[in-house]
Amino acid sequence: MRVVVVTTSFPRDEQDACGHFVAAHARQLAAQGHEIHVIAAGQSRGRGPEERRGPLCVHWAGGAPLFSWPGAAARLRRAPWQAVCFADLTWGVQRKLRALGRPDLVIAHWIVPSAWPLLAGTRHPIEAVAHGADVRLLLRLPPPLRRHILAALLDRGARLRFVAHASLEALRASVGGPLGHRLEAQSEVAPLPFELPPIDELRAQRDRVRRELGVGLHEALVVLAGRLVAAKRADLAVRAAAVPCDRALRLVIVGDGPERRALERLARGLGAPVAFAGQLPRDRALAVVAAADALVHAAVEEAAPTVVREARALGVPVLACPAGDLARWAEDDPLLVLAPSEPAAFAAALAALLRRPT
């Protein structure tokens, strides 16, 4: 089967953390024997007909100034004029689709903007993957527009894949009635695959990574990894790290974004034991997570956070705020602990988690 994946987030290279779960999904499809073409936002439409990535053919469709780290929403807040890049991307996607001929299936990663409006004018069979941010955007739209977008997709027979039950339930409840029933009937919930380097290799780097991060022999290493944007609530982790604990700890923040300077000022003002590692290559970031005594995930708006799944696959305990499907996961995982989004309570839960045997 010939499958085209349309996405606004795709890694520029193998060490880019951006959209790595989309790449993992595309490679999974290729391993099942499908011919996979990826049409992705970024770089230049004139770069060439395709870029080979193992079994994948990647076609860059433009729009790079908008759809780049740390995300379109953050870039628009900083430079609203970059919205013009969306027209460039739309033209690029349509041009690439025409050049590829008629696929058997188009998989759009993110309902908005990939399935709609980027693919609104096509008649190809569509599967739309909802990650969470797109569902939150839909829920913020005026109800008539939200209903129009969903009805347009469902009317053309699109299938929807939600990575979290909570996202599907929230969207279905927001439209209700016959449209909500149709949405449920044409949807499934299935987390996306993710890829890790060999776990034994990551664990073998533990002592060296901790030394390089300046973690003391008796200190607990706590890691937060992700984009430093307001929605990720890294400030909660910094404030919790400043609360006195019965075990010395060091919070290492892996990632970058518009909130970094404010977080650095907050950490200095509180005297919190926080180090900022910056944006790291993906393998290095995973090695830091694997070396941790705990990972903290402070966001209160999530669906099915990949970093939590990666940490648990590496055997690292996780403290998170209840969001998305995390409560559902925590029912079956004693080392995935949920805590209120308040510094003292979060700090107390972290201290208790660090005392638990792993």
Beta bridge mates, 286: none
pLDDT given for residue 70 in this prediction = 66
Beta bridge mates, 221: 250
pLDDT given for residue 356 in this prediction = 83
Place of tokens 């989309």: 22
pLDDT given for residue 28 in this prediction = 98
Instruction: Domain ranges for the chain, please list them.
Output: 2-189, 199-355
pLDDT given for residue 245 in this prediction = 84
Domains 2-189 and 199-355 share a fold: yes
Contact 111, 130 (CB under 8 A): yes
Contact 116, 153 (CB under 8 A): yes
Cα(243)–Cα(316) distance, integer angstroms: 22
Task: Say how many C-beta atoms besides its own lie within 10 A of residue 69's C-beta.
Answer: 16
Residue 323, token pair as written in the block = 């969001």
Cα(255)–Cα(69) distance, integer angstroms: 10
Q: Can you tell me whether residue 79 is helix, strand or coil?
A: coil
Q: Positive or negative CA dihedral for 55, 61, 64, 69? A: negative
Q: How far is CA 95 from CA 39, 68, 99, in A?
A: 10, 21, 6
Distance spanning both ends of the chain, measured CA to CA: 44
Residue 53, token pair as written in the block = 């990535």
At the fourth CATH level, which superfamily is domain 2-189? Answer: Glycogen Phosphorylase B; (3.40.50.2000)
pLDDT given for residue 76 in this prediction = 65
Domain 199-355 belongs to what architecture? 3-Layer(aba) Sandwich (3.40)
Cα(106)–Cα(220) distance, integer angstroms: 46
Residues of the chain with pLDDT under 50: 46-47
